[in-house]
Chain A
C-alpha cells in the first residue's frame, strides 16, 4: 500500500495541469481546483486499492479479467465508504451544471443532442460504489461535451446515463459519483 503513495504523488502534477490545459476559458478555477483535489484523492485511494489485489493485466483468460475487475471493485469499496456528492460537491456540481449548460445551449447544442440520442440512451438507478451493470450499454459521451469538462486521469471517464453525468472508474467498473439531472 505504501508504494502507492509515490505513484499518487507523481500523478498530482498531471492532475494539477488539467484545468489549465483543457478547461473551458470561463471555468471557475477555484471550484475546479477543488474538484481536481478530490480526483487526486480518489486516485490515491484507487492505487491503494489496486495494490491490495492481483493486478489486471493482458491475458487470454476472460475469467481472470472478470475476477480481477471484481476484486478491484471490492477493494475500492473497502477503501472508500463513499456517498453521492463526495466528489461532485454542491459547488462542483453547480460548476458542472454551468459547463454542461454552455455546451447544451451553445452553437453546437443541436448536434450534441442528436449525438446523445443516437448513442443508445440508458436508464439506470444510480448508486455510488455500485458496479456499472454489465448488461447495460455505456452511452457514448459527445466529444464536444468532453472538451468542455476538466480532463481526467485515464482510469476515470465521464459518462452519460439518461440525464445524469456519472464518473466511472473504468478499470474497477464502478460508479464513483454522479450529478443527476444535468443533461437538459
Chain B
C-alpha cells in the first residue's frame, strides 16, 4: 500500500517487458525503498474502463472525498461509467436526499458524461429503478453491453424464481467474452458483521459458474475485499464508497486482499482477454491491484 504522490509517480520505474502477461510498475518511495508493486492500467484503445463502489449514498463528507478522488483519478484513467453496488441512497429519499447523496457529490462526473448504472441495496427504495440517472430503465435487474463485456445488474434483495430464470436465460444467451455480474449482497465475504449470503450463493452460484461468469462485484459489507477465486469466479466486495465498518474483516485463507480502514472505490479496465483492477482509498492510496486473465471458453463437444 502506498500513497500515490506526485513524487512517487515521478520516481516510479517501469520494468521493461511483460511479467506473466502484465505490465508491472515498480514503485520506489522518496527514501528509495521499494514499497509495493502496482499493476498499472494498459489504457489500450477500445478497452472498457469503469469504476465501481457500493454503500455510498450517505451524503457524508467521506462520500464526497471518494467522489473527488475519483475525479482526480479520472484524469489519469478516463473511465466512462460507474457501477453502483447498492445502498445508493441511505435513509430518506426526497429530492434533497438525491441531490445531497448522489447529484452533488458526483456532479463533476455527471457533467463530464460519466454514466452511473445502479443496482438495488437493502437501503434503497425499489422505485429508484425509475430514476433516469441510475440508468436502470425502470427495471430491478437488467443487463447492458460495452464492447466485449456484458454487465448484469441483479437485485439480490429479492432473488425470486422469476429473476433467477431471467439471469440464467440472459447469461446463456450472452455472446460477450466477459460476463460481469454485480449486486448488493456478497456470495462470499469475510466480514464479521454480515458475512456471506449463503442461501443466495446456493441458488445463484451454479447459474453463474455454468454460464462462465468471470467476475462478481458486490457491496453490503462496508470494506474492500478481493477473494481468491471461488468456483472459478473472482469476487470483489467494494462496500466502502461512503460507509465504513472499521476493521471488520476477519482473518481468512480466502482473502486475497482486504482493506477495512477507510472508504474507497475500485477501477477496472478490460482489454481483450485481460481485466486490470486497482482499489483505491479516498486519499488516493492504491490498496490493491492486479490483472485477471480470462479463462478460455469451453470448447464445444
Interface-centre pick from B95, B99, B124 (highest chain A CB count, 10 A): B95
Question: Is B160 touching A118 in the complex (CB atoms < 8 A)?
Answer: no
How many B residues are at the interface, by size bracket? 35 or more
Contacting residues, chain B, for A173 (C-beta < 8 A): 125, 127
Compute how far the CA of A112 lies from the CA of B99 in the bound complex, rounded to whole angstroms. 37
Q: Is A147 an interface residue (CB 8 A)?
A: yes
Choose among A134, A139, A151 the residue that contacts B162 (Cβ–Cβ < 8 A). Answer: A151
Question: Is B127 touching A118 in the complex (CB atoms < 8 A)?
Answer: no
Taking A56-B130, A170-B126, A173-B127 as contacts, is the C-beta distance between A135 and B199 under 8 angstroms?
no
Q: Is A108 an interface residue (CB 8 A)?
A: yes
Question: Is A118 touching B185 in the complex (CB atoms < 8 A)?
Answer: yes
Contacting residues, chain A, for B196 (C-beta < 8 A): 118
Within 8 A of B (CB), among A109-162: 111-112, 114-115, 117-120, 134-135, 137-147, 151, 154, 157, 159
Question: Is A115 touching B127 in the complex (CB atoms < 8 A)?
Answer: no
Taking A62-B93, A63-B94, A173-B125 as contacts, is the C-beta distance between A115 and B197 under 8 angstroms?
yes
Q: Shortest Cβ distance from B207 into chain A, in angstroms?
A: 11
Q: Is A3 an interface residue (CB 8 A)?
A: no
Contacting residues, chain A, for B92 (C-beta < 8 A): 134-135
Compute how far the CA of A178 lies from the CA of B158 in the bound complex, rounded to whole angstroms. 17
Q: Shortest Cβ distance from B249 into chain A, in angstroms?
A: 15
Q: Shortest Cβ distance from A106 into chain B, in angstroms?
A: 12
Taking A143-B159, A151-B162, A171-B127 as contacts, is the C-beta distance between A119 and B122 under 8 angstroms?
yes
Q: Is A2 an interface residue (CB 8 A)?
A: no
Within 8 A of A (CB), among B76-130: 91-95, 97-99, 122-128, 130
Taking A22-B161, A120-B194 as contacts, is the C-beta distance between A58 and B137 under 8 angstroms?
yes
Choose among B94, B132, B162, B195 the residue that contacts A118 (Cβ–Cβ < 8 A). Answer: B195
Choose among B125, B195, B199, B202 the residue that contacts A134 (Cβ–Cβ < 8 A). Answer: B125
Question: Is B199 touching A142 in the complex (CB atoms < 8 A)?
Answer: yes
Choose among A108, A114, A154 the residue that contacts B195 (Cβ–Cβ < 8 A). Answer: A114
Contacting residues, chain A, for B164 (C-beta < 8 A): 143
Q: Is B233 an interface residue (CB 8 A)?
A: no
Closest chain A residue to B156 by CB distance? A140
Contacting residues, chain A, for B156 (C-beta < 8 A): 140
Contacting residues, chain B, for A147 (C-beta < 8 A): 161, 203
Compute how far the CA of A159 lies from the CA of B125 in the bound complex, rounded to whole angstroms. 13
A-B interface pairs (CB < 8 A), number: 118
Q: Is B169 an interface residue (CB 8 A)?
A: no
Question: Is A112 touching B127 in the complex (CB atoms < 8 A)?
Answer: no
Question: Is B97 touching A111 in the complex (CB atoms < 8 A)?
Answer: no
Choose among B91, B131, B138, B202 the residue that contacts A144 (Cβ–Cβ < 8 A). Answer: B202
Contacting residues, chain B, for A142 (C-beta < 8 A): 199-200
Closest chain B residue to A117 by CB distance? B195
Question: Is A60 touching B132 in the complex (CB atoms < 8 A)?
Answer: yes
Q: Shortest Cβ distance from A114 into chain B, in angstroms?
A: 5
Contacting residues, chain A, for B159 (C-beta < 8 A): 140, 143, 146
Question: Is B131 touching A65 in the complex (CB atoms < 8 A)?
Answer: yes
Compute how far the CA of A154 lies from the CA of B125 in the bound complex, rounded to whole angstroms. 15
Question: Is A111 touching B199 in the complex (CB atoms < 8 A)?
Answer: yes
Question: Is B123 touching A137 in the complex (CB atoms < 8 A)?
Answer: yes
Taking A62-B131, A151-B161 as contacts, is the C-beta distance between A114 and B198 under 8 angstroms?
yes
Q: Is B204 an interface residue (CB 8 A)?
A: yes
Q: Is B290 an interface residue (CB 8 A)?
A: no
Q: Shortest Cβ distance from B193 into chain A, in angstroms?
A: 9
Q: A63-B95, A142-B199 are in contact. List 17 more A-B contacts (CB 8 A).
A: A58-B130, A58-B131, A60-B131, A60-B132, A65-B127, A69-B125, A118-B195, A119-B197, A134-B93, A134-B125, A138-B123, A140-B185, A141-B160, A143-B199, A146-B159, A146-B160, A170-B127
User: Interface of A with B (CB < 8 Å)?
Assistant: 22, 56-63, 65-66, 69, 108, 111-112, 114-115, 117-120, 134-135, 137-147, 151, 154, 157, 159, 170-171, 173
Q: List 7 A-B contacts (CB under 8 A).
A: A66-B93, A66-B95, A118-B197, A134-B93, A134-B125, A143-B161, A151-B160
